């Protein structure tokens, strides 16, 4: 679908459909992303239908990770199709966090780490109900409670309270179901208590899922543990500019002649996000194959795929780097 504003504001927006060479390069990058998304999909299907399964619970967590990674790669692919490279960095940041998390789970103590990740979602949902021991979100006398009643009415507020209680009971049943969940619950309570004792402030203390099953206390530590330490400051840290709204001035070219505004959908600078998305994705794919302990034929198949993928990725990166102010400036 062609948006009308692209025609009206053709001095502001870069339209990739009007630039065949740029479009061809972007389609080449899209094809490479298509390859890796397809490979994730094949693995997901094999695990879902049971041809490649190790542990039902752990496999379910891995499948959920794979589906989220596929969704994020697909989102980057869609944004790239119209040369929206900078907004894709926001998705890349989350993609990296998911890949690092999955790689950490697969590295060792896989079931324990999968349990810590899986249960944390339920803990966080229930944590929303508490500000501290003296005041509850779902309390008619709390500021939050009064706000919800004003907006939705008392009847809807009561329904929310009942839903929350059902979730609390469901979590209790889930924890009792398996030993690994009971151990995780106990470990989390101990870690939280220890953090509360160390905290000098009275505000609520939070915990990350990976703290429950390891001594790691930060994303930097997680990236270091999974071999991605070098990316934290040099590349991953830089993605914060797009995520936190600190990159507005990057929409401008400055030189000795003065300044000019870049096009929205600027087709330059797409190689870094693309390269990182590919590298992190292929790395965790390899880790998944190792976890599944597939036979020699599957390993050889992945090896062939990897070699071809790297060639196509590198060529796409080279061509993306060749896009140099292909369209001038926006204004």
pLDDT in tens, 47-65: 998 766 778 999 999 999 9
Do 104 and 126 lie in one domain? The reply is: no
- Asked if pLDDT for residue 134 goes beyond 50, the answer is no
Q: How many domains does the chain have?
A: 2
Of 291, 279, 280, the residue nearest 108 (C-alpha): 291
Q: For the whole model, what pTM was predicted?
A: 0.86
Angle at 103 between CA 219 and CA 191, to 5 degrees: 50
Residue span of the structural domain in which 7 resides: 1-109+217-331
- Same domain for 98 and 232? yes
Identify whether residues 22 and 82 lie together within a single domain.
yes
Q: What are the tens digits of pLDDT across the range 204-235?
A: 788 999 999 999 999 999 999 999 998 887 67
Domain closes at, from 212, 237, 262: 212
Tell me, what's the pLDDT at 137?
61
pLDDT tens digits, residue range 241-250?
Answer: 655 555 676 7
Considering the domain architecture, whether residues 221 and 279 belong to the same structural domain is answered as: yes
Hey, what are 219's tokens?
A: 């994303």
Confidence class of residue 287 from pLDDT cuts 50, 70 and 90? very high
**How big is the CA angle at 12 (ends 10 and 13), to the nearest 5 degrees?**
70
On whether both 313 and 223 belong to a single domain, the answer is yes
Q: Final residue of a domain: which of 165, 190, 212? A: 212
* Shared-domain flag, residues 7 and 142: no
Last residue within a domain, chosen from 190, 212, 234: 212
Alpha helices in the chain (DSSP H): 4-8, 20-49, 56-81, 85-107, 110-127, 143-152, 154-177, 179-198, 209-212, 219-225, 229-231, 240-243, 271-292, 296-321
Work out the end-to-end distance of the chain between its first and last CA atoms, rounded to an integer number of angstroms.
25
- CB crowding 98-128: b at 16 or more within 10 Å, else e: bbbbbbbbbeeebbbbbbbbbbbeebeeeee
191 and 226 co-located in one domain: no
* Confidence tier at 328 by pLDDT (50, 70, 90): very low
Residues 192, 123 share a domain: yes
So what's the pLDDT on residue 135?
Answer: 47
Q: Are residues 262 and 307 in the same domain?
A: yes
Same domain, 306 and 240: yes
56 vs 141 pLDDT, higher one: 56
pLDDT at 329 over 80: no
Q: How confident is the model at residue 156 (pLDDT cuts 50, 70, 90)?
A: confident
330 and 222 within one domain:
yes
Same domain, yes or no, for 331 and 194?
no
pLDDT 10s digits, 159-184? 888 888 888 899 999 999 999 999 99
Asked whether the beta carbons of 88 and 76 are under 8 A apart, the reply is yes
pLDDT tens for each residue of 90-130:
999 999 999 999 999 999 999 999 999 999 988 887 775 55
């Amino acid at each position: 679908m062609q948006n009308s504003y692209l025609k009206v504001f053709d001095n502001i927006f870069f339209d990739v459909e009007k630039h065949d060479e740029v479009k061809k390069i972007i389609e080449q990058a899209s094809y490479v992303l298509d390859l890796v998304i397809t490979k994730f999909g094949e693995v997901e299907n094999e695990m879902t239908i049971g041809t490649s399964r190790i542990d039902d619970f752990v496999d379910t967590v891995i499948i959920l990770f794979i589906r989220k990674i596929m969704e994020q790669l697909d989102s980057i692919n869609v944004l790239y199709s119209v040369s929206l490279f900078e907004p894709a960095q926001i998705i890349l940041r989350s993609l990296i966090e998911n890949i690092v998390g999955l790689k950490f789970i697969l590295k060792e103590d896989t079931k324990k780490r999968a349990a810590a990740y899986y249960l944390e979602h339920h803990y966080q949902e229930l944590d929303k109900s508490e500000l501290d021991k003296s005041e509850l979100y779902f309390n008619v006398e709390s500021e939050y409670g009064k706000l919800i009643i004003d907006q939705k009415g008392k009847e809807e507020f009561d329904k929310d309270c009942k839903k929350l209680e059902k979730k609390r009971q469901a979590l209790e049943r889930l924890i009792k179901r398996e030993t690994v969940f009971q151990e995780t619950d106990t470990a989390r309570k101990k870690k939280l208590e220890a953090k509360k004792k160390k905290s000098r402030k009275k505000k609520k203390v939070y915990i990350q899922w990976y703290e429950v099953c390891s001594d790691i206390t930060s994303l930097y530590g997680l990236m270091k543990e999974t071999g991605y330490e070098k990316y934290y400051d040099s590349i991953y840290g830089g993605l914060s500019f797009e995520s936190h709204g600190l990159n507005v001035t990057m929409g401008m070219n400055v030189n000795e002649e003065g300044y000019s505004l870049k096009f929205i959908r600027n087709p330059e600078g797409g190689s870094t996000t693309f390269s990182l998305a590919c590298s992190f994705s292929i790395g965790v794919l390899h880790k998944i194959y190792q976890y599944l302990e597939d036979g020699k034929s599957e390993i050889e198949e992945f090896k062939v795929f990897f070699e071809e993928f790297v060639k196509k990725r590198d060529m796409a990166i080279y061509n993306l780097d060749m896009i140099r102010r292909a369209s001038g400036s926006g204004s």
